[in-house]
Amino acid sequence: MASSQDSALVAEAKKTRNEPVTYNYTEERDIILYNLGIGATETDLQWVYEGDDEFSPIPTFGVIPQFPASMAVPLDWLPDYNPAKLLHGEQFLSIKAPIPTSGQLVSTAKLLEVLDKGKAAAVTIVVETRDTSGQLVTENQSTFFIRGSGGFGGPRAGADRGAATAENAVPKRAPDAVVEEKTTPSQAALYRLSGDWNPLHILPEFAAIGGFNKPILHGLCSMGFSGKHVFQKFGAYKDIKVRFAGVVYPGETLVTEMWKEGHKVIFTTKVKERDSIVLGSAGATLIDDADKAKL
């Protein structure tokens, strides 16, 4: 979206119109596979059995249909762009309507914000996902840091976009709920079947190039686990935001600590074995009675 503060390079890049991307999916092939990929088990029938009366996707499934559209936005106009130096920094998902359990969704992506961090660029891509009637189902905002691609001018700090940019500072008290869940050694191999085929998550030699001693778990998979924990403890939410602060190796244990502050659940997620935070500045806005009436 155009900004008067944008450099000429960014202003020109924002004029690019990206083609809509269609996502076709079924209950058995896609919804259940995603739910399993973020830790649902055979006892969670509402998530793994299509015949259950309450069958549904875990809310963070909303990051999946938009993913191909987000990844298709060109970034090679950035100076010294190297895709190997791209890091997924933050993710914000806003659920605008109930996510269908099967069907066709269409996503349209565009550049929302581009910041010059000096030695890096911070690029936020917004994707609107609609059903075939045109109803807006989800909006995603994905922020990527591209090391070595700064110096093009323009703003260094971003605009306030409400829940999408909230810092979600952790309250100075014990958490209201804690969920501990161990991932499996094959977690990344399973999760990648939902559409993120980056070899960083499966090939040891590729992971080594990135500086890791073995393949790492997808950040959006860790977000899914935590989103599931929030849902289990506090119920449905209309948006969720995380900052990716560290890596998880498949087989490690995720610990989600949650604090309820009004209609918001603030949370952090850490790896138990290394006492290392992997999701920070994280929060989810719960659905209240007025929201339920609209849905």
| Residues designated as active site | 196, 201, 216, 219
Among residues 24, 6, 26, 27, the alpha carbon closest in space to that of 15 is found at 6
Sequence-ordered list of residues with C-beta below 8 angstroms from that of 29, at least 6 positions apart, any chain: none
DSSP symbols for 145-175? EEET---S-S-SSPPP-GGGT---PPPSS--
Rg of the chain taking only CA atoms, in angstroms: 19
- Alpha-carbon distances, residue 162 vs 14, 198, 239 (angstroms): 22, 31, 11
Tokens 């008290």 belong to which residue?
A: 173
Q: What is the DSSP letter of 60?
A: G
Q: What's the CA gap between 247 and 260, in Å, rounded?
A: 26
Q: What's the CA gap between 166 and 131, in Å, rounded?
A: 28
